[in-house]
Structures are given as structure tokens and as C-alpha cells.
Structure 1
């Protein structure tokens, strides 16, 4: 990923926070003749100083075969993003652009085997996405026979992250009144509140 120095997200904790806040990511592997991708929710977990991404996909997905071969993968996390119009400022040199935050994670993938390990991963993933609900759903409610069939039809895997690249392009070069004007333009046109919050923080730091 091309990252000019002013847009580099240098704090590892900030990158991990974005990965956890936007866990639905692009999972990319080299296929036959061309890259192939899947759209999957990921758990971002740290263990003994190492970073792991864990997920699962249907065994019917052709990408699941590559998991068995120890392939190397790229996982792309996309944070808040939005179009930025020059019409919002008085800058005669400004052109249309796109603000965004993203993290790229690279590393080798391997399957997760064993009934207990697979059930534990599913339980952790379910808990992550259910915890904010007033009445969280639990896997304990699944009929045992159906649960066994689901495990057979699911390929679970993990990637140990060897390299992280993180970018936060949020109009850091538009300080003062022009930065304020961009934020006001976004607000008028109903932009993503998360993008606006990230931009406010970035512009305040300048």
C-alpha cells in the first residue's frame, strides 16, 4: 500500500483498534492465474507477543483448498471513508479526493483443526458480535446434531501477522479554516459520522 509519511498510522494500537472496530475484511489469496478474495469477519487476537487473525469460511468455497496448502495471505481492513469535494473550500489548487483509513495485514495461513478448538473459535467470534446486544445469542442453543454438521461444513483458519501497513488519510494537509470547511461540507451532505470524528481528531493533532 502506498503510504506517504504524513498519512502513515504509526501507532500499532491505533491500527489494532481500527481492525477490531471494522472486523469485516477482504481476505486475499493467490488463485490459479489471478488473486482471489473472500469477504469475512475476523477476530484480531494477541498471544505471547504475536498477532493472529482468525476466521472461517465454507468448505465449499474454493479458497478453502488453499488454506490446506499453507498459503500466504493479505487481509484488508477498511475503516471509515468518504469523498472530499473541492467545492467546500476556497483553495484554487484543491482537487477531488477520497479520505479513508485502512490496514493491510500479511502473513501465512493455516487451518485450525480439532472439534474443541473449532467450537472455541466460533464461541469467541459469536461473543464478539453479540456482546453489545441486550439479549446475546449463545451457541449453546444449537441442536447438537446440527452443530456437528456445521463444523463439518466449515473451514477454520488463522493467520499469524508478520507485517502491518496502516494508512490514515484524513485531510491532514488542510489545517485551519480549510479543514473546518471540509468538515462542514461533510456534515451538510450527511457523511459518515465515524469519518468526521476521525478527521476532527487528525486535524486537532496538527
Structure 2
């Protein structure tokens, strides 16, 4: 992955909050023929007995399920908002343009769980996305039993033990202060993604330029 020290996020709470905010991740690995496979699913981070784990569920007997049964090593990529940054926004405009974005990469080993744990996973996902509304008809506990019984035959829950976790929060930290604030101003005039990145940059300005009054 893109790997420069000043584009890292080392605050564990910030990383956990990022994963919670953007749980729809790429889960990828390799099958028995070393062909890459990937799927996009919501994945949640937890901590048990001092170890970080990711939890989720996927469809049984798909190419990725079979691949992960064969090879337990997986990569999970969480991505957030991202935006183009024009080189014309820098104090030296004769500079290549770039892209600002935030991403968390997790490497780990996957194991598939039993039906009881699948119920826990389905309950967790449905409650999370229904804002923990116990009255919602679409949460697991309020679905018809004959439907959930059929559903559970088609999916399987998993846990991924986190072995390595790396981040790229590329937010123009390597630019001079004038360019940095001009980029923020320009991004505020963009759509949602640009505005989100601008807000993140504003939050970090004091950290990036600790000796500045701006």
C-alpha cells in the first residue's frame, strides 16, 4: 500500500471509529489455484481477550467462500471519502495533481463459525443499520422464523483475527501551510466527498502545523 510516515493514522480510537463509519469493506484472498477473489460486505471490528477481530457473514458456496475455506489468509480494505486535489491549488502550481483519501488495510486469518454465532452476526448487522431500533420489522429478531431458517442455510458467519493493521490517511500533510489551507478552501466548494476531506484536514491542521496560529 501507499506507505509514507506522514500519511499514517496511529490513533487506535480514530481507526476504530473510521471502520465503524465505513464498514462496507473489500474482503479479498486467493483460491486453490492462486487466483484472486474478493467480495464487498459489512464488517465490524471488536476486541476479545486482548485480540482484535473482524466479524461478518457471507454467502455459502460462492467462489470467495470456497477460497477462504482453502486459504485462511485474507485482506480487508476499508475506504472512506476520497477526492481529486489539483496541483494548481499549491503555492507552486507546477506540481503534479494528486488524490486525497483515507483507507485502513487489515491482514488476518479467517475462520467460519457455527449457526449460533451466525444468529449473533445477523442480529448485530441488522440492529446496527436500523439504528438499534428494536421495533424495526427488518431486524433479525422480528423476521419470520421460516424465512430466517431458509436464510441461514445460505450464509455463514466468520471471524478474522487481525494480524496486521495499516493505514493511509493521505490529507496533504506534506504540503506547506498556505497550500494546505487553500486546498481546504477549494474542497469546501466541491461535492460531499471534497467537503468531508476538507473537514478532516481542518481537524488535523493543528497537528500538521503545531507552531502555526492558522
TM-score between the two structures when normalised by the length of structure 2 = 0.88
**Structure 1 unaligned blocks of 5 or more:** none
1:11 maps to: 11
In the alignment, is the contact (CA less than 8 A) between 1:111 and 1:158 conserved in 2? Answer: yes
Structure 1 residues 62 and 76, CA, compared in 2 at 3 Å: closer, same or farther? same
Aligned 1:93-172 pairs, distance under 5 A = 93-113=94-114, 115-131=115-131, 136=136, 137-172=138-173
**Structure 2 unaligned blocks of 5 or more:** 209-214
In the alignment, is the contact (CA less than 8 A) between 1:112 and 1:118 conserved in 2? Answer: yes
**2:197 pairs with 1:199:** no
> Secondary structure at the residue paired with 2:78?
strand
User: C-alpha distance in 2, partners of 1:176/1:10?
Assistant: 22
In the alignment, is the contact (CA less than 8 A) between 1:53 and 1:158 conserved in 2? Answer: yes
1:26 maps to: 26
In the alignment, is the contact (CA less than 8 A) between 1:67 and 1:157 conserved in 2? Answer: no
In the alignment, is the contact (CA less than 8 A) between 1:82 and 1:191 conserved in 2? Answer: no
In the alignment, is the contact (CA less than 8 A) between 1:80 and 1:194 conserved in 2? Answer: yes
Q: CA deviation at 1:176?
A: 2.3
User: C-alpha distance in 2, partners of 1:92/1:138?
Assistant: 52
1:91 maps to: 92
In the alignment, is the contact (CA less than 8 A) between 2:104 and 2:167 conserved in 1? Answer: yes
User: Deviation per CA, 1:160-182, whole angstroms, max 9, x where unpaired?
Assistant: 00110111110012242211111
> Secondary structure at the residue paired with 1:44?
strand
Structure 1 residues 48 and 33, CA, compared in 2 at 3 Å: closer, same or farther? closer
In the alignment, is the contact (CA less than 8 A) between 1:171 and 1:203 conserved in 2? Answer: no
In the alignment, is the contact (CA less than 8 A) between 1:22 and 1:77 conserved in 2? Answer: yes
User: C-alpha distance in 2, partners of 1:147/1:121?
Assistant: 13
Structure 1 residues 175 and 202, CA, compared in 2 at 3 Å: closer, same or farther? farther
In the alignment, is the contact (CA less than 8 A) between 2:82 and 2:197 conserved in 1? Answer: yes
User: C-alpha distance in 1, partners of 2:135/2:116?
Assistant: 25
Structure 1 residues 7 and 34, CA, compared in 2 at 3 Å: closer, same or farther? same
> Secondary structure at the residue paired with 2:175?
coil
User: C-alpha distance in 2, partners of 1:12/1:111?
Assistant: 26
> Secondary structure at the residue paired with 1:46?
strand
1:64 maps to: 65
RMSD of aligned alpha carbons: 1.9
In the alignment, is the contact (CA less than 8 A) between 1:70 and 1:110 conserved in 2? Answer: no
